[in-house]
Amino acid sequence: MMFRFVFAIVFICLAILARAQGDIDIQHYEFNITLNDKNDTIIGAAEIKVKFLHPVKSFPVDLVLQNEKGKGMIVDQITVNDVLSENFSKQREKLIINLPQSQQTDSAIVSILYHGVPADGLIISKNKYGDRTFFADNWPNRAHNWIPCKDDPDDKASFEFIVYAPSEYQVVSNGKLAEEKIMAGNKKVTHWVEDVSLSTKVMVIGVAKFAVNQFADSPPNIPVSAWTYPQDSVTGFRNYSVAPAILKFYSDYIGAYPYNKLANVQSKTIFGGMENASAIFYYEESAEENKSMEDLLAHEIAHQWFGDMASEKSFSHLWLSEGFATYMTDIYLESKYGTDSMNRRLRDERKTAIDFARHSNRPVVDSLSFLMNLLNANSYQKGGWILHMLRREMGDTLFRKFIRTYYDRYKGTNADTDDLEKIAEEVSKKDLHQFFKQWLYTPGIPQLNIRWLYNEKDKTVAITIEQVQKQMAFGFPLQIKSEGDKSEIFTLNITRRIETFSIPASSTIRHISADPNTALLFDSRIEKINP
């Protein structure tokens, strides 16, 4: 996802879910959700197909239960395989369902009837025009505020939403529309089915008065559309109209688009954009006049492959989602506007990563327990830069093969950073252990003091490179450009805290610069020493 205002987000306390859920694997969810205009109470009926990975006596379902302020869900009834279950216990955010001996088998259908006002996760409010809207906003584990589920990115399932709402609203969701029918009493039922198994973080509904436009340049069999508030349709349709071209670019670069449609939806998400699979939600102002939304759309559309389809095993590896979306955006923009334009963007991203590293001593692969705090420059800009350095290490052809291989192997499932490293080594046939260790598991960014001296007598340049960051010394190739009567680029292989090199110069050197091709994540100070 993308932030509008990084620090303007209301602080949301999100404890990492207990990982005691390794006993079950959810196969399918059916969520029936009834909405109304009189109050913010939702009525839910969930049918969950659970596979038991080994015989269990009880298992947990995540659901935020009603608190003292009246927010949260009240459970009305639970059945297991159509048998009424009285034997369950409640924790604050969890139901523990106990199974009778006869049901301790390999799978079960659990039905949960519930109702309540969502504390979070389903944002029921008024949009900027004062119209009532309902938008799910689940990242990272806010789904269980309004749907009972295993709220963990590592458990993927197919699902369907059957939404009962007042008939003036339209309902958008993941997957394909199975039914939309007007019922008695000005009600409407809308049924969306997603056959692709996904994490709860990207399962959504959006319910509002919408204007909808399908773009004429959509790829065959993949309708790409814009869903905006009717008042913003002209500008919104225009701002979102870059989506089909972006989708085509990634389909070609990474692999076939994995879903059957792409809806781009103006919404009340707390993020700038949220990459819900095949139904991306963007912040309200994204549909306003004179706004270039191209990089935001490119970021969220890249997530359809990375984050949604090939997903991180846990949020510690969030960079596999955000770093990829950041760098895929750079690659898309490079294809459209050229390498100079991408390099300018990379230098801005590098500055953001360096500024962040000044006050953070955390690695990219990070087990922070407040998940919202992982939406930082380590996950985004530094993650993107790590991919860029891998590309410089491998070359364009092998890098693309690496991206495609990783996606192909992990689409529909989850990966961690070790899984990615294995594929990088397999494709490049290089030992990248040190690369991954220093850039992903070690905090900091190389900070270089570069001192140089031109030696007239023997026509050489003496260069001393000192790494002054407080963290460990890094190893990397550093390109230096020397400028005299003519300019030359040479590569120094840095392996130690401080090293001195002597380089032959064909003419008097007047100026030295580092990293002329924008290939290294580093910060530097260059100083000419007078003999």
CA-based nearest residue to 517, from 484, 473, 472, 487: 487
Number of residues that bind Zn ion (CB under 5 A): 3
Q: Examine residue 1 and tell whether it contacts Zn ion (CB under 5 A).
A: yes
DSSP H or E stretch at residue 15: none
- Which conformational region is residue 72 in: left (phi greater than 0), alpha (psi within -120 to 50 degrees), or beta? left
Interactions with Zn ion, residue window 38-57 (CB under 5 A)? none
Return the number of the residue (137 or 160) whose C-beta is nearest Zn ion.
137
Which listed range, 124-132, 141-149, 239-247, 314-322, lies at the site for Zn ion (CB under 5 A)?
314-322
Which listed range, 136-144, 172-180, 253-261, 319-327, lies at the site for Zn ion (CB under 5 A)?
319-327
Count CA within 13 A, CB hemisphere, residue 407: 27
Return the number of the residue (4 or 209) whose C-beta is nearest Zn ion.
4
User: What is 341-395 written as a DSSP string?
Assistant: HHHHHHHHHHHHHHHHHHH----SS---SSGGGGSSTIIIIIHHHHHHHHHHHH-
DSSP H or E stretch at residue 525: strand 523-528
Return the number of the residue (1 or 353) whose C-beta is nearest Zn ion.
1
Smallest gap from residue 388 Cβ to Zn ion (A) = 17
Q: Which of 325, 394, 403, 519 binds Zn ion (CB under 5 A)?
A: 325
Return the number of the residue (21 or 321) whose C-beta is nearest Zn ion.
321
Q: Examine residue 112 and tell whether it contacts Zn ion (CB under 5 A).
A: no
Smallest gap from residue 300 Cβ to Zn ion (A) = 7
Smallest gap from residue 485 Cβ to Zn ion (A) = 47
Which listed range, 315-323, 368-376, 467-475, 503-511, lies at the site for Zn ion (CB under 5 A)?
315-323
Smallest gap from residue 126 Cβ to Zn ion (A) = 27
Asked, as a colleague might, if the bond just before 118 is cis with ω within 30 of 0, I would say no
404 three-class SS: helix
Q: Examine residue 297 and tell whether it contacts Zn ion (CB under 5 A).
A: no
45 three-class SS: strand
Rounded to whole angstroms, the Cα distance separating 208 from 269 reads: 13
306 close to 412: Cβ distance less than 8 angstroms:
no
Which residues are CB-contacts of 392 (< 8 A; sequence separation ≥ 6)? 517, 519, 520
Smallest gap from residue 302 Cβ to Zn ion (A) = 8
DSSP H or E stretch at residue 216: none
Return the number of the residue (88 or 324) whose C-beta is nearest Zn ion.
324
200 close to 152: Cβ distance less than 8 angstroms:
yes
Smallest gap from residue 432 Cβ to Zn ion (A) = 25
| Residue type at 486 in one-letter notation | K
Interactions with Zn ion, residue window 390-429 (CB under 5 A)? none
Interactions with Zn ion, residue window 143-182 (CB under 5 A)? none
Which listed range, 42-50, 185-193, 257-265, 322-330, lies at the site for Zn ion (CB under 5 A)?
322-330
Smallest gap from residue 79 Cβ to Zn ion (A) = 38
Which listed range, 36-44, 320-328, 441-449, 520-528, lies at the site for Zn ion (CB under 5 A)?
320-328
Smallest gap from residue 154 Cβ to Zn ion (A) = 18
Smallest gap from residue 322 Cβ to Zn ion (A) = 5
Rounded to whole angstroms, the Cα distance separating 418 from 79 reads: 41
422: its two tokens:
């294995």
323: its two tokens:
């770093």
Instruction: Name the residues that contact Zn ion, by CB under 5 A.
Output: 1, 322, 325
